[in-house]
Chain A
Amino acid sequence: MSSERPKLGPDIPKVITAWLSASGRVVYLTADRNWSEELSDAEVLTGAGAVDILAWAAKDQTRVSDPYFMQVTLDGKVAGRETIRETIRARGPTNHPMFGKQAGNN
C-alpha cells in the first residue's frame, strides 16, 4: 500500500524530493539536476513547467526512487499540509534526535 501525496497546483512553490536508490537517504533536486541531501540546495519550482521536471526526475531511476513534489515556501522552507511529515523526513525521527540528518549520521 503506497503513501499518496497531496496534489500541488502550478502556483504552489514546490521542490522535488526522492530517496537515493543505494542508501535510501532523502534527497532534493537541485537546479543543475543533481540530488542534494540538503533541502536548502533544492530548486524551488513554480509554474506549469515543474511537471516536466518531475517527469525527468522519475526517469532518473538509477540514482533515486519515487520522486514527488513537496510543498515549500518561496524561500525553500517546508510548508503546506505535509509540514510535519516533511520536517521529520528532512531532519530525522523526533523520538530519536541522535539519528538522521539532525544528528549528521543518516
Chain B
Amino acid sequence: MYRYDEFDDTLVRERAKQFRGQVERRLKGELKEEHFKPLRLQNGVYLQLHAYMLRVAIPYGQLSAKKMRQLALIADKFDKGYAHFTTRQNVQYNWIRLADMPDVLDVLADVEMHAIQTSGNCIRNVTSDHLAGANLDEIEDPRPWCEIIRQWSTFHPEFSSLPRKFKIAVTAGETDRAAVRVHDIGLHMKKNAEGRIGFEFIVGGGLGRTPFVGPTVREWVAKEDLLSYLEANMRIYNRHGRRDNKYKARIKILVSELGLEEYRRQVEEEFAAQNTWEKVVLPQDEVDRITAYFAAPKFAALPAISAAFDAFKAGSREYARWAKNNLRPHRTPGYVSVHVALKQQGEAPGDASSDQMRALADIGETYALDDIRVAHEQDIVYPHVKLDDVPAVYAALKAAGLHASNAGLASDIIACPGLDYCNLSNARSISVANEIQAVFADPEFEDDVGTLHVNVSGCINACGHHHVGHIGILGVDKKGEEFYQVLFGGRADEKATIATIQGPGLRHEEVAPAIRRVIDQYLTLRRDKSEKFIDTLSRVGQAPFKDALYAAA
C-alpha cells in the first residue's frame, strides 16, 4: 500500500486547514452558499436530503486496518455509527455537521486519507480491480499505475475545472472487475505483439442519462507514455467538451458527437505535438519507487490443500455454501480471497456499522495481511487469506453479522442510496433492493438461480449502475409516484453491454414479484444449471423474459 511522503502529508493537511477557514467564513456568513458550494464539493461535501454528506476517497479501494478503524471512529464520533461503501470504492457519511467537517478531515489526514476530488468537475478517485495482486489472470498489478495517476491528477491545475466530472479505472486481468468500459477513461493493461505490457485506452464509456460502452481509442500505449497520452485525451476533452449543457458535458458525448475516428485523430495529433518540455515521461526510478509500495506480501509456503479448510466446508451446509459463493481463487497455493458481501437481508447495500467496520479491521489485521479492499459491488474483500484461517475468518464475520453467503448472487444487489438519502433521486432504491433480496431469501433457491447481478438506481444518474446489471432497476417519478423501469441484459465486465429498458415502469410493490416471475422464466428456459441468467437471456432473447415481467400487469 502506498505510504504518504512528507509532500503528501503536507498537501492533505494544508488542504484541511484551508477548508477549515472556508467553513468558518461560511458559518459567519462571509461566504454565501453559491460561492461556498464549489469549495465544499472539492472537499467531498454534499448537501443531501437530510444533512451534509461527506464522501471520502479510498484510492483504488484499498484500506488497512488502521484506516478502517479510523473510518469507524468517524462514524461514531461525527455521524450515526455507520457508513456507506459506494460503487466507486469510496465511503460516505450521511449525517455530518458542516461545522465538524474540518475536524473530520484532520482525523482522516492522521491515517493518510482525505476527501479531495471526490466531487466536482475534476478527475475523481481512480478505481481498480479489488483482487489486484491476488487474482490468477492478472498480467501485472495495476495499483502502482493507479497511484501514479492519482498523484498526477491530484490538484492538476489544467484539469481542475473540466466540463464535468471525470472517472478513470484501471484493470490488468483478463476478467474485468473494474468496469473499465463504462468509465470516462478505462485502462486495460495488455501485452502488445512484442510482449511488452502497456495500456489499452478505452475512452467515452459511462452510465447516467446517456449510457455508452466506451470504444477503444488506442489498442496499446507504452507505460512511459501513460500520463502523456492521458493528458492528450484530457486536453481534447477540456478544449471541446460541452460546457453549455451539463447533460451533454461528459467525454462520452464528445466522443460520440465527434465520432471515434475524429476523436482519435485529434488525440493522436495532440499527443504527437506535445513538446519535449511538456511531455510527462515517467522516470523509471519513480515508477520503481511507487511499485515497491505494492510489492507482494511475503506469503507462507503452504500446500494447496488445507485440512482445516476441508473440515470447515464439510462441517455444515452453511459453511459449505459460504465457501462456495464467497471465496475466490488466489495465485498463491494455500491462499484464497474472501468476499464479504455487505448485503445481509434487509440491510442497505454497502452499509456497515462502526462495530462491523472494527470487526473488518480486526479480521484484516489478524488474518489478511492487513489488506482490505472495497469492491465496486459495494462489498469488502480480503485479497490474501490462508485457507487454514478461513474457518476463523468466517466465525469472526458471523459474529459481526457479516456472513452473507451471497457474493455474486441475486441478493448481492448494487443499490444507490436513492430517495431515502439522495437529493437528486426520484425514487427509493434501498427498499426495492431489500424486497428483491427477500425473493431470494431461501439459500437453496438463490444457489439454484446462480450468478445474477441486480443493480438498482433511484434516478437516471445511475449511481446504482442499473445499465450494467443483468437485471437493472431504475426508479422514476411519475406524477409524484415512484415507478420502476426494468432493464435486461447489462453487464459491466469485459463483455460490457448496456441493458435494454423493457417497457412501462412498475409500481414499488410490483417490482419484486415481477423479478420472481422473470427468474421462474429463466429456470424454465435455461439449458441446464450451468447456464447463467445472462447467457440464457443472450441465447433465447429478451421477449420471453419481458412477457414474464409484465405477466400480471
Contact = CB atoms under 8 A, between A and B. Distances in A.
Interface string A1-18: 111000000000000000
B397 interface: no
A2 B32 CA distance: 17
A23 B97 contact: yes
B288 to A, nearest CB: 41
Interface in A84-106: 84-85, 88-89, 92-96, 99-100, 105-106
B374 to A, nearest CB: 21
Contacts of A105: 80
Interface stretch (B11-19, B385-393, B426-434): B426-434
Contacts of A23: 51-52, 97-99
Contact of A83 (B51, B420, B427, B480): B480
A1 B28 contact: no
A57 to B, nearest CB: 12
A24 B27 contact: no
Interface string B321-340: 00000000000000000000
Contact of B50 (A65, A81, A93): A93
A22 B27 contact: yes
B99 A81 contact: no
Interface in A59-83: 61-62, 65-66, 80-83
A3 B459 CA distance: 11
A66 B124 CA distance: 25
Contacts of B420: 88, 93-96
Contact of A66 (B47, B97, B98, B419): B47
A19 B47 contact: yes
B461 interface: yes
Contacts of B29: 61-62
Contacts of A21: 26-27, 33, 98
B480 A95 contact: no
A65 B80 contact: no
A44 interface: no
Interface in A5-52: 19, 21-26
B482 to A, nearest CB: 6
B47 A24 contact: yes
Contacts of B440: none
Contact of A22 (B99, B434, B479): B99
A81 B483 CA distance: 13
Contacts of A81: 477, 479-480
A65 B31 CA distance: 11
B98 A22 contact: yes
A94 B428 contact: yes
Given A1-B246, A81-B479, A24 B51 contact: yes
Q: How large is the interface on A (under 10, 10 to 19, 20 to 34, 35 or more residues)?
A: 20 to 34
A106 B51 contact: yes
Given A1-B461, A61-B33, A94 B50 contact: no
Most A CB atoms within 10 A — which of B246, B427, B477, B482? B477
Contact of A3 (B80, B99, B423, B482): B423
A95 B47 contact: no
A99 B32 contact: no
Given A66-B33, A95-B431, A95-B434, A22 B97 contact: yes
Contacts of B481: 84
Interface in B282-314: none
Contact of B419 (A61, A62, A65, A88): A88
Contacts of B51: 19, 23-25, 106
Interface string B38-78: 00000000011111100000000000000000000000000
B348 interface: yes
A78 B29 CA distance: 30
Contacts of A84: 419, 427-428, 480-482
B484 interface: no
A91 to B, nearest CB: 9
Given A95-B434, A100-B50, A62 B28 contact: yes
B382 interface: no
Nearest to A83: B480
A86 B434 CA distance: 22
Contacts of B434: 95
A9 B90 CA distance: 41
A91 B80 CA distance: 16
B159 interface: no
Given A65-B33, A95-B348, A24 B430 contact: no
B424 interface: yes
A88 B419 CA distance: 8
B421 interface: yes
Contacts of B229: none
B492 to A, nearest CB: 22
Contacts of B95: 99, 106
Contacts of A92: 50
Contacts of A62: 27-29
Contact of A89 (B50, B348, B427): B50
Interface of A: 1-3, 19, 21-26, 61-62, 65-66, 80-85, 88-89, 92-96, 99-100, 105-106
16 contacts: A1-B461, A22-B27, A23-B97, A24-B52, A26-B49, A61-B29, A62-B28, A62-B29, A84-B482, A85-B419, A88-B419, A89-B50, A93-B50, A94-B420, A94-B431, A95-B431
Given A25-B50, A61-B29, 14 more contacts: A1-B461, A2-B424, A22-B99, A24-B48, A24-B51, A24-B52, A65-B33, A66-B47, A83-B480, A88-B419, A94-B420, A95-B348, A95-B434, A96-B348
Interface of B: 26-29, 32-33, 47-52, 80, 95, 97-99, 246, 348, 419-421, 423-424, 427-428, 430-431, 434, 461, 477, 479-482
Q: Would you list the 9 A-B pairs with minimal beta carbon distance, nearest first?
A: A62-B29, A81-B480, A24-B51, A93-B420, A24-B52, A65-B33, A95-B430, A61-B32, A23-B97
